[in-house]
């Protein structure tokens, strides 16, 4: 009991319900390295530009941050890739800054987590296995370019809602990730937090022979990085073996 009383809490604002059980799964893999506290935000569950802009609006995130305050998190992450990159680089930075102000602790988003995770692995060329419609996925390509990352292949699977993504079987997720590589890509990115991936990362990496960065994996890593926690752990892929802290 004493161990849990002193455990560092990390806060995550997760939109709706789809793959939030990735967080307790990751907590188990991390073996008590942190208390991963998830609070839900709600909006239209649609992978479309206007709906995603509304999903990540400042008032919605501030309200979510207020519900995390009683847990005294050391860092807070907006655990939504599309609801952050849709704002573009500068807009996503303003979004993260506003969340930090509302939460009173360092804050970030899954989109920035991808860029920083790639930097930690010295990755500059990637393939993207995206569940989004093409119009939305293209915004992620632009966001990564602003962060100095070249996309060699971007697959768009046209899934319209996060709820539908959350129904994908582990076999379907593995097929999506392994089937959309590029021979010159240094890593494969799987950007939807609505997709269960944390228990699959190492299996996919073994098949591809290269790092795999998934949305919930990098989100947790980013929170731990901001909180100053140790980042080397087994079971969550090469990212959690990277010696570089960015």
- pLDDT greater than 50 at residue 2: no
For residue 204, give Cα distances in angstroms to 38, 170, 171.
Answer: 26, 11, 11
Fold matches, 2-112+216-241 and 121-214: yes
Bridge partners for 127 per DSSP: 153, 188
Within 10 A of 147 (CB to CB), how many other CB atoms are there?
16
- pLDDT greater than 70 at residue 83: yes
> What does the pLDDT look like over 174-193, one tens digit per residue?
988 999 999 999 999 999 89
- pLDDT greater than 90 at residue 132: no
Q: How does residue 138 score in pLDDT terms, banded at 50, 70 and 90?
A: very high
| Coil, helix or strand at residue 148 | coil
Query: Can you give the pLDDT at residue 1?
Result: 33
- Per the structure block, which two tokens stand in for 217? 């994996």
> What does the pLDDT look like over 206-222, one tens digit per residue?
999 999 999 999 999 99
Q: Which helix (H) or strand (E) holds 205?
A: helix 201-208
For residue 180, give Cα distances in angstroms to 20, 118, 176.
Answer: 24, 18, 6
Its pTM surpasses 0.75: yes
- pLDDT greater than 60 at residue 5: no
Query: Tokens 């046209």 correspond to what residue?
Result: 158
- pLDDT greater than 60 at residue 143: yes
Query: Can you give the pLDDT at residue 173?
Result: 87
Q: Which range has the worst mean pLDDT, 85-94, 149-158, 171-180, 217-226?
A: 149-158
Q: How does residue 228 score in pLDDT terms, banded at 50, 70 and 90?
A: very high
- Per the structure block, which two tokens stand in for 163? 């709820």
% pLDDT > 90, the chain: 75
> What does the pLDDT look like over 18-41, one tens digit per residue?
899 999 999 999 998 999 999 999
**H helices of 71-129, where?**
82-85, 88-103, 110-120
**How far, in Å, CA of 22 to CA of 217, rounded?**
9
* Mean pLDDT to the nearest integer, 64-81: 97
Sorted by where each begins, the domain ranges of the chain are 2-112+216-241, 121-214
Domain 2-112+216-241's class? Answer: alpha beta
Query: Can you give the pLDDT at residue 3?
Result: 42
Query: Can you give the pLDDT at residue 110?
Result: 98
Domain 121-214's class? Answer: alpha beta
Mean pLDDT across the chain: 91
- Per the structure block, which two tokens stand in for 137? 């996925």
For residue 139, give Cα distances in angstroms to 83, 84, 133, 169.
Answer: 11, 10, 11, 26
């Amino acid at each position: 009991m004493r161990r849990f009383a002193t455990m560092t809490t990390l806060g995550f604002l997760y939109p709706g319900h789809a793959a939030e059980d990735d967080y307790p799964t990751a907590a188990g893999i991390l073996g008590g390295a942190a208390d991963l506290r998830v609070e839900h935000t709600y909006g239209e569950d649609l992978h479309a530009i206007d709906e995603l802009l509304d999903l990540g609006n400042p008032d919605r995130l501030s309200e979510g941050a207020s519900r995390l305050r009683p847990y005294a998190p050391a860092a807070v992450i907006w655990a939504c890739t599309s609801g952050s990159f849709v704002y573009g680089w500068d807009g996503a930075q303003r979004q993260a800054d506003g969340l930090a102000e509302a939460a009173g602790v360092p804050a970030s988003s899954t989109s920035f987590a991808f860029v920083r995770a790639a930097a930690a692995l010295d990755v500059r060329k990637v393939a993207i296995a995206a569940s989004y419609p093409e119009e939305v996925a293209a915004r992620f390509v632009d966001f990564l370019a602003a962060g100095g990352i070249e996309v060699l292949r971007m697959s768009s699977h046209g899934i319209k809602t996060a709820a539908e993504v959350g129904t994908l079987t582990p076999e379907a997720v593995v097929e999506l990730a392994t089937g959309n590589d590029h021979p010159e890509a240094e890593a494969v990115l799987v950007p939807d937090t609505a997709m269960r991936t944390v228990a699959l990362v190492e299996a996919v990496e073994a098949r591809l022979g290269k790092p795999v960065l998934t949305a919930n994996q990098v989100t947790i890593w980013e929170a731990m990085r901001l909180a100053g926690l140790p980042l080397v752990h087994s079971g969550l892929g090469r990212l959690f073996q990277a010696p570089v802290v960015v």
